[in-house]
Every structure is written in structure tokens, then in C-alpha cells.
Amino acid sequence: MSIVSPARRAVIAGIGQTEFSRASGRSEQRLAAEAALAACADAALDPAKIDGLITFAIDKSDEIDLQRALGIEECRYTIRLPQGGAASVTTLVHAARAVESGFCDHVIIWRAMNERSQYRFGQPHFGISLDAHSSTFMEWCFPFGAQTPAAWECLSAGPYLSRYGVTSEDLGRVSVLLRQNAATNPASWFHGKPITLEDHQASKWIVAPWLRLLDCCQESDGGVAILVTTAERARDLRQIPVKLLGAEYAMLFNHEIITDFYQGDLACLPVSERVRDRLTASTGLAPRETDVAMIYDNFTPQVLRQLEAFGFCGPGEAKDYIREGHCALDGQTPLSPNGGLIGEAYIHGVNNITEAVRQVRGTAANQVRDARTAFVGAGVAGAILARD
């Protein structure tokens, strides 16, 4: 358990976002500034008081631009985090450490992307330098026709799906659930547009034999920001503080980002199991004991594998766990009531964190009754949020 005094414990005091769209019509720097200002306004904090800035290594907006835009008086800490969407939840690990150590007073986490109108992750990737970053997913896959996240996901998840007899219909039930949730969330890309399993089965192949169009997240333009501070400072702010009970991430031996399939049993996710165990130890709560589960849903197979690895059900059971309704809004642990990255928007997972905050505050569009805790998971990272 934490040795940090209760007054200094990290809390999320503000959240902000732009609209999620096909074409924002403005720069990513502008989206970053709008989202960060909205998070400060949500908390009634003067943006000049921000002193820490955290984003993804691959975010294309810039800390210096954002510092200027917010009118920050003195920024003390900036950091960019590796990997893809896993960085979404990893930001919480760093933000919590920054404020609990006393190094920062108010940290802004942000992600801004015109990932629909300017570039699309789902297209064959050219823009990654082979002489920088962890680019094995390019160098050792591209010449052989695995050139997109969907193709890498198919190679990664195939052994799991084969071993447990998961069908395309099983995957479709994940999308149907998330689109049902998105349909009643006015902020979502797919507001008012639920789908049936038949729609899923009729959608075109992106990567055979596993991923149809409706197995993929919704590439979107938009910005999202989160304000983290201490419990003590949050008392002077406007919102119900949401405690960051715990946040953990791990990279295990010989790790790769999205092509993490060169060793081990691909039917399980040992790194997510490790994160689950550490979170349970540090918070006293297992992910499955929380009231809402926000699980990174870039593609439907990832949801099934993470449900098992984060401990919501046993190995091979996720397809039945979904089918039996345990992830529905009235189920055991409702999954992504905002519609997730498949239904609300793909802002690289950060919009799943803001939904967890709304759920714990009790202000979500699809509010889970009496939700007091929420789990947010993104493969190698996980966090548990709780009502104060």
C-alpha cells in the first residue's frame, strides 16, 4: 500500500475534450490547447498554474507550444511515453508520481490527433524512421505484407483465437455491445447508430481471417486532456475529485510494442497479468472488483484477451463472458459505457480514461448505477480510480 499521506494522494480533478470528428478543421496544437483548457475549466483551475505536461512519444503536438498556449508561468516537468495506446494509461503512472512526490502541483495529460483527416494509423505505415524508435514491427513485417496495426493484431491474436475456438460472431458481440453503448452517448462518433451482429458479419474484411471493418476502432480527429493534482489541492477546485488509487505498467523481457509475438504462449498476456497483480497488491482491489471496466479496444480480440489477463474471467472464457452479458451496462462489470474506442472515438485510449472519471463522478451519459470505482486497462498498463 502507498506510504503517501492522504492529502498528497493523486487525484484527477479535471477532464476536457474536443468534439470527435472525421475532420477537425484545425491544427493538432489547437486541439491540444482546447482540450487542456477544457480540463482546467472543468476544475476551475487557472491554466497558468499547470507545471507538468505528459503525452505520448508519438503525439505530434508539442509541449512548448502547449506551455505557451496555456500561459503556464513555470513548467517543471515534461515527459513523453513510449509504445502506442498503452501510453494512455501509462501517463497516469507518471502523473501520480509527479504530484505525490511533490515535484509538480498540477499535471496535464493530453493527446491530440487529426488521426482521420491528416493521417491514419490503419493505412500501411511509411512514416516511421527505422533508425529511431522501436520499429521492428516495420522492418521485419512490412516486406512480407503485414503493414498495418490490424495485420499485426491478427498475427498476435491468431493463436489465442484458434486455441479457444473464438468465432467471428464472438468478436462481433464485442462490437455490438460497444456500439450499443455509443448509440446513447451524445459525444460519440456513433451516437444513434447501434449495429446488429448481422451488420458485423456483413462488414468487409480488413484482415482475414479475423478482423472485419466492425472489429476495428473508429479512427478520429480530436483532443482529450486530464488534470492530475493532489487531494489537498483538489479541495480548492470545483469537481468531485477522483482518486487515482493505483496505476501500474510493465514491460517484460524482450518486449515488443504491437508485434510482441516472438516468444512465449500467445494464448495469454503475461504482461497484463503482471499489471493486474501489482494493481491488486497496491490498491487492495482486483480489476474485476471494480464497478466499470474501460479496456483498450483497438480491435475486438484485444478486449477478449485483456478480459482474461486482467482477471475478469478465466483463460478461454471471455467469449462466453461477453455472450452471457457480464460486460453489459447492467452486467457484472459494464465495459466501456461510452462505447470505447470502437464506438465513441479513437483518441488513442485517453478518452477511455475520461469516461472512467465521469463514471466515478456519476456524470456519464450511460451512467452505471452507484459506480464508485473504475478500472482502466491498456495492455501493459492499468489503473484503478475511485470516488473520494
Partner 1 sequence: MEQQQRPDPLNRIDGAFFWAAAERGELAVQRCCKCDRLWHPPRPVCPVCHGQDMDEQVLSGQGRVLSWALSVHPRPFGFAEPPIAVLVEMEEGVRIVSTLEGVPLDEVHSDLAVKVDFVRSNGGKALPLFRPAETRA
Q: Is 96 exposed, middle or buried (0-12, 13-18, 19+ CB in 10 A)?
A: buried
139 binds partner 1 (CB under 8 A): yes
Q: Which of 138, 237, 356, 357 binds partner 1 (CB under 8 A)?
A: 138
Toward partner 1, which CB reaches closer, 107 or 266?
266
Q: Which of 23, 263, 323, 363 binds partner 1 (CB under 8 A)?
A: 263
Angle of CA points 234, 374, 317, to nearest 5°: 165
262 binds partner 1 (CB under 8 A): yes
217 binds partner 1 (CB under 8 A): no
Toward partner 1, which CB reaches closer, 103 or 262?
262
Tell me the C-alpha to C-alpha distance, in Å, between residue 340 and each of 19, 67, 167, 189. Answer: 15, 29, 21, 10
Q: Which of 72, 177, 206, 245 binds partner 1 (CB under 8 A)?
A: 206
- Residue 161 Cβ, how far from partner 1 at the closest point, in Å? 9
Give catalytic status of residue 119 as yes or no.
no
Stretch of 30-38, 47-55, 154-162, 278-286 contacting partner 1, by CB under 8 A: 154-162
Cα–Cα distance for residue pair 381/90, rounded to 1 Å: 6
Question: How many Cβ atoms are within 10 Å of 199's Cβ, its own excluded?
Answer: 17
Q: Which of 3, 208, 330, 369 binds partner 1 (CB under 8 A)?
A: 208
Toward partner 1, which CB reaches closer, 119 or 261?
261
User: Helix, strand, or coil here: 371?
Assistant: coil
- Residue 208 Cβ, how far from partner 1 at the closest point, in Å? 5
165 binds partner 1 (CB under 8 A): no
Give catalytic status of residue 164 as yes or no.
no
Toward partner 1, which CB reaches closer, 301 or 334?
301
- Residue 201 Cβ, how far from partner 1 at the closest point, in Å? 15
375: β partners: 293, 384
108: β partners: 53, 227
Stretch of 98-106, 231-239, 252-260, 362-370 contacting partner 1, by CB under 8 A: 252-260
Helices 168-183 and 300-309: crossing angle in degrees, nearest 10, is 90
Q: Which of 5, 101, 118, 162 binds partner 1 (CB under 8 A)?
A: 162
302 binds partner 1 (CB under 8 A): no
Which amino acid is present at 386? A
- Yes or no: say if 125 and 147 are a contact pair by the CB < 8 Å rule: yes
- Residue 84 Cβ, how far from partner 1 at the closest point, in Å? 18
- Yes or no: say if 140 and 259 are a contact pair by the CB < 8 Å rule: yes
H/E run at residue 229: strand 221-230
* Cell 471496466, residue located: 293
Q: What is the DSSP letter of 238?
A: S
- Grid cell for residue 46: 487557472
Cα–Cα distance for residue pair 216/171, rounded to 1 Å: 10
Task: Tell me phi and psi for residue 34, to 5 degrees.
Answer: -60, -45
24 binds partner 1 (CB under 8 A): no
Active-site position among 160, 249, 296, 321:
296
Q: Which of 12, 89, 150, 174 binds partner 1 (CB under 8 A)?
A: 150
- Residue 271 Cβ, how far from partner 1 at the closest point, in Å? 16
- Residue 318 Cβ, how far from partner 1 at the closest point, in Å? 18
158 binds partner 1 (CB under 8 A): yes
Burial 111-130 (b: 16+ CB within 10 A, else e): bbbbbbbeeebbeebeeeee
259 binds partner 1 (CB under 8 A): yes
186 binds partner 1 (CB under 8 A): no
- Grid cell for residue 353: 480514461
Q: Count of residues binding partner 1 (CB under 8 A)?
A: 43
Toward partner 1, which CB reaches closer, 78 or 136?
136
207 binds partner 1 (CB under 8 A): yes
H/E run at residue 384: strand 381-387
Q: Which of 1, 3, 127, 131 binds partner 1 (CB under 8 A)?
A: 131
* CA atoms 269, 273, 274, 276: torsion sign: positive
- Yes or no: say if 77 and 228 are a contact pair by the CB < 8 Å rule: no
- Catalytic residue numbers read 296, 346
- Interacting residue ranges for partner 1, rule: CB under 8 A: 122-124, 126, 130-131, 136, 138-148, 150-152, 154-159, 162, 204-210, 213, 253-254, 259, 261-263, 266
